[in-house]
Amino acid sequence: MNTSTIAALATPPGKGGLAVIRISGPQAVHILSKLFVPAGKKTAFADRSMMYGHIVINGQPVDECMTVVMRAPSSYTREDVVEIQVHGGEQVVTSILHAVFNCGAEAAKPGEFTRRAFENGRIDLSQAEAVMQLISATGQQAADAALRQLQGGTLRFVKDAQKQLISLMAGVTAAIDYPEEIEEDEAVGVIAPDLLKLSDKLLAACDERGAAVLEEGLRVVICGKPNAGKSSLLNALLMEERAIVTDIPGTTRDTVEGSIQMDGIRIHLKDTAGIRDSKETVEQIGVGRAREAIKSADLRLMVLDIGQEPDLEDEAILQLIAGMDNLYIFNKSDLPEHPGFANWLLKQQLPEHVTMTLSAQSGIGLDALRARLRAAAGNPGQNTLTLVRHMKLARKAAEALRRAAQAMQNSLPLDLCAVDLNEALALLGEITGDNFSEALLDEVFATFCVGK
């Protein structure tokens, strides 16, 4: 139980139409009473009722405001909570916050309001993480997934898995404690298959790549040798002139970025310097950055000019991206094709589903490319688990269940199997916060903004 009262700006700092100062703790209402002078005759702070008045510091009005009191336990933190809505000027906010601190409140740490909501039992840990996930969402699918998690989707999935596991553990315990009544082979024959099914269920919920796409967007790098039309392709996809386009090879010396939204998923596009051997220092740096971008991307669009016969530079790029998720773009389809291009393509034996022909200049084939990009992103917002931390724990729990099942099938003592089962149960508890350490909470809430 927290005995301190905390306060922070709950809206982004800087100039704005409104700013909200949030206070939570046993002294929240008392602090408000020291600073707030109501404009009307009402002096008592009714629960969940807005009041208009002024903030007065040292006898001087600082700003007119609206305030609301939310009394425990029916508040975000399950403590007494006060919110003061003032004009969004930096000096006004700073003056009021200093006055609140002088009245006894402490400056809230990042995520401390939500941490108190967790510690006071209003939400579980997965729901607490969903708050930041919702704030950080860059696309509609990410926002929808975060809202489902906030409404208890992850909690229900994990609790259901825990319930199944506890039932199976009870069967193991009974076989250990009452061997004269329960045949061990009979128990193993029933429990081991169910453990494997539960393991598979947990693994099916784990899609780390999808979680990354949901959180960060699909990272797409446009690569190729100089003058293949990479910058033109970036501009065409963004539908704006983001990158400089000229007929001079090597115009792009650094990465140029932009993003688009497709069906609620953000797709990050990065144009890179043309990859070739160069003696120019600046171009060498650009090529080095291009290579790094290629390695970290989810998908690479290698652009080839069909008006030229591919050469050793193209071959080198093919080798560089070999074994990765690639889409090979045959650009400038509005111009005559070089006779040697078809022969080269025949030798490469690239699967048809990873190639496409288009013209970034005329727009031919761009809609088909957008469809390919959308398909590459998938539908990660539909996944049961959407945070990598949860997936890592679920995978470890699934592995522990599989070890226990295999140990049973190999006729190892059931008490040894119980160790793995207890480990799996504890790992699932870390997702919801049933099992937690201060270090875990510090790690989770360190990603939050101050005021939330």
The DSSP secondary-structure symbol of 449 reads P
CATH class of 6-108: alpha beta
Sheet containing strand 60-70, edge to edge, reads 36-38, 51-57, 60-70, 81-88, 16-24, 6-9, 106-107
Contact 224, 317 (CB under 8 A): yes
The token duo for 381 is 């917002």
Helices (H) and strands (E) in the chain, counts: 16, 13
What would you report as the CA-atom Rg of the chain, rounded to the nearest whole angstrom?
Answer: 30
At 375 the pLDDT is 92
Q: What is the mean pLDDT of each run of 10 residues along the chain (452 residues)?
A: 90 91 97 93 85 95 96 96 94 96 95 95 94 88 91 95 94 78 70 95 92 88 87 88 52 70 90 67 67 88 91 86 92 91 85 91 93 90 88 97 93 88 96 89 87 83
Alpha-carbon span 403 to 396, nearest angstrom:
11
Chain region(s) in the chain for CATH 3.30.1360.120: 6-108
**Cα separations in angstroms, 239 against 216, 227, 258, 372:** 22, 20, 10, 17
In the block, residue with structure tokens 């090529």: 287
At 248 the pLDDT is 47
- With b for 16 or more beta-carbon neighbours within 10 A and e for fewer, the 222-238 pattern comes to bbbbbbbbbbbbbbbbb
The DSSP secondary-structure symbol of 273 reads P
Helix (H), strand (E) at residue 26: none
CATH 1.20.120.430 is right for the domain spanning 127-207+385-445: yes
Alpha-carbon span 419 to 403, nearest angstrom:
10
> Can you spell out the DSSP letters for 352-397?
GGGEEE--TTT-TTHHHHHHHHHHHH--GGG-S---HHHHHHHHHH
At 93 the pLDDT is 95
HEC profile of 98-159: HHHHHCCCEECCCCHHHHHHHHCCCCCHHHHHHHHHHHHCCCHHHHHHHHHHHCCHHHHHHH
CATH class of 213-380: alpha beta
Query: Residue 107: what are its φ and ψ, rounded to 5°?
Result: -70, 125
The DSSP secondary-structure symbol of 97 reads H
The answer for residues whose C-beta is within 8 angstroms of residue 197's C-beta and 6 or more apart is none
At 181 the pLDDT is 63
Alpha-carbon span 12 to 19, nearest angstrom:
8
Residue 71, classed as helix, strand or coil, is coil
Chain region(s) in the chain for CATH 1.20.120.430: 127-207+385-445
- With b for 16 or more beta-carbon neighbours within 10 A and e for fewer, the 10-23 pattern comes to bbeeeeeeebbbbb
